[in-house]
A and B are shown apart, each in its own frame.
Chain A
Amino acid sequence: MGICHCAAAHFDPNVFAIAYARQNGLDKSVDDSTHSKVERWTSIALRVGVWSSATLMVAGLLMVWVSGSTPSLASENLSPGDLLRKLFSSSVDGVTLIFSGLLVLMLTPFLRVLTAAVGFLAERDFKFVFISLAVLSMLLGELFFSLR
């Protein structure tokens, strides 16, 4: 007795249709294992980004709540420079945690595009590595010119 490694355990009723699609070059998403890799990695990147950002934001909001003091109006009107500086300061308050969550959220799409580029590279689909890097450079260009 033990764990069954037989193929039947993983039998997909649509296996013939998938095989047909593969043979005829129709299928770029339901393809071989490397194709599933790029999708899995992209999916993981998105999950990590969203949930870590949501956790930071919830923690920050709770910290604001527990501290009992309503954040001052000054903290609501923090300039982008002030917010970024607070991020690297030693004292961590609720607003800083919330802001770091927002920053993680804003950077999640960057991570997703980078992950896709690496995934396409792993399957040697250079055309899409190039496309992904083109999208990433535009995003980085926007980031650079905005924060300059």
Chain B
Amino acid sequence: MTFTSLLLLLLAGVVTGTIGAMLGLGGGVFLVPFLALAFGLPMHQAIAASILAIIATSSAGAAMNVERRIVNLRLGMTLETTTVIGAILGGVTANLLSGDVLTEIFASLLLLVSFMMIWRIRQRGVHEETHQGGALAATYRDDSTGTIVSYSVRRVPVVMLISLVAGNISGLLGVGGGIFKVPSMNIIGGIPMKAATATSNFMIGVTAAASAFIYFAHGHINPLIVAPAALGVLSGSYLGILLGRRIRSHVLTWVFAIVLLLISIRMFLR
């Protein structure tokens, strides 16, 4: 391991973290193939690095969003009961599978994510003002419109089931799973997009921690690889949020959806 390699890993983290945050995908979707293809890391180590990076970005983002009360803390904690189960099962399964099989599953995920990205361009968030109350009901102030948004959560068991699957994908492949969780929280659970995104991001840290020690125990956490990558993704995510506020382009989404499609093909052919 040379010092240049450490710098390259840091840079890889910054780039993937920035793109991930700009597209609202989180770093993992880009970091895992980058580490596996460009650095030739074993798939399990690439996934482990991504899991640690996810804990860092989720915790840093959630610290802000919890304070601003966009995160629905009670809903997040409730859904974590199933994401954690899913992630533990995912982590155990991943460590039973070979790197080649994991690569193929990851390539299939990228294929799905690239289609989801394009589908999401056409979607508008669903929001109906609801006043039924309930333990999971919440209110937050939307800073972009200056309005108070009140909502209650519908079909909690279905959303919990989807969270279980998202947790499983997270533990298995080292991605946050927000791209699947957020639309379902919004469409099925009736949670406004902003709260769904913030709450999903809040949960991702605990979900990732649920499989982190499984990867650690199998010797897949290499401090000299994971630390620069995680620090890079953390700083890249801040940069991505700043850039994302200035640049909002469907062209960008299309470009990276095609990039993911190409990476997916490359991983299948590996």
Q: Give the B-binding residues of A (Cβ under 8 A).
A: 13-14, 17-18, 21, 24-30, 38-40, 42-44, 46-47, 49-50, 53-54, 57-58, 60-61, 64-65, 70-71, 73, 75-80, 83, 95, 98-99, 101-102, 105-110, 112-113, 116, 127-128, 131-132, 134-135, 138-139, 142-143, 146-147
Interface size on B, residues (CB 8 A): 64
- The reply to whether B59 and A43 contact each other, CB–CB distance below 8 Å, is no
Give complex CA distance A47, B58 in Å: 11
Q: List 20 A-B contacts (CB under 8 A).
A: A13-B146, A18-B148, A21-B139, A24-B133, A26-B139, A26-B152, A28-B136, A43-B66, A46-B62, A46-B63, A46-B205, A47-B63, A58-B231, A61-B6, A76-B225, A95-B224, A102-B230, A106-B55, A112-B205, A142-B211
B213 interface neighbour in A49, A77, A142, Cβ under 8 Å: A142
Contacts of B175 in A (CB 8 A): none
- The reply to whether A131 and B73 contact each other, CB–CB distance below 8 Å, is no
B126 to chain A, nearest CB (A): 19
A-B CB pair tally, cutoff 8 Å: 198
- The reply to whether B227 and A18 contact each other, CB–CB distance below 8 Å, is no
Is B78 part of the binding interface, using a Cβ–Cβ cutoff of 8 Å?
Answer: yes
- The reply to whether A29 and B72 contact each other, CB–CB distance below 8 Å, is yes
- The reply to whether A38 and B88 contact each other, CB–CB distance below 8 Å, is no
B76 to chain A, nearest CB (A): 9
With A39-B69, A46-B66, A109-B208 as contacts: A27 and B137 at CB distance below 8 Å: yes
With A64-B6, A146-B217 as contacts: A112 and B59 at CB distance below 8 Å: yes
- The reply to whether B1 and A21 contact each other, CB–CB distance below 8 Å, is no
Contacts of B225 in A (CB 8 A): 76
- The reply to whether B210 and A142 contact each other, CB–CB distance below 8 Å, is yes
Is B47 part of the binding interface, using a Cβ–Cβ cutoff of 8 Å?
Answer: no
- Additional pairs, 19, CB under 8 Å, beyond known A26-B150, A39-B69, A138-B84: A27-B139, A29-B69, A29-B140, A30-B141, A47-B60, A49-B59, A57-B231, A77-B222, A80-B221, A98-B224, A102-B223, A105-B230, A106-B213, A108-B55, A131-B77, A132-B77, A134-B81, A146-B213, A147-B213
- The reply to whether B55 and A75 contact each other, CB–CB distance below 8 Å, is no
- The reply to whether A25 and B56 contact each other, CB–CB distance below 8 Å, is no
Contacts of B67 in A (CB 8 A): 39-40, 43
A92 to chain B, nearest CB (A): 13
B47 to chain A, nearest CB (A): 14
Give complex CA distance A132, B224 in Å: 33
- The reply to whether A138 and B88 contact each other, CB–CB distance below 8 Å, is yes
A18 to chain B, nearest CB (A): 7
- The reply to whether B223 and A109 contact each other, CB–CB distance below 8 Å, is no
Contacts of A108 in B (CB 8 A): 55, 59, 205, 209
With A43-B67, A61-B6, A76-B224 as contacts: A29 and B209 at CB distance below 8 Å: no
Give complex CA distance A19, B138 in Å: 13
Give complex CA distance A39, B216 in Å: 30
- The reply to whether A39 and B219 contact each other, CB–CB distance below 8 Å, is no
Contacts of A44 in B (CB 8 A): 63
Is B52 part of the binding interface, using a Cβ–Cβ cutoff of 8 Å?
Answer: yes
Contacts of A109 in B (CB 8 A): 55, 59, 205-206, 208-209
Interface centre among A43, A58, A76, A128 (most CB of B within 10 A): A43
Give complex CA distance A25, B152 in Å: 11
With A39-B69, A109-B206, A112-B206 as contacts: A57 and B213 at CB distance below 8 Å: no
Shortest Cβ distance from A60 into B: residue? B227
With A14-B148, A76-B1, A138-B85 as contacts: A29 and B206 at CB distance below 8 Å: no
Contacts of B206 in A (CB 8 A): 109, 112-113, 135, 139
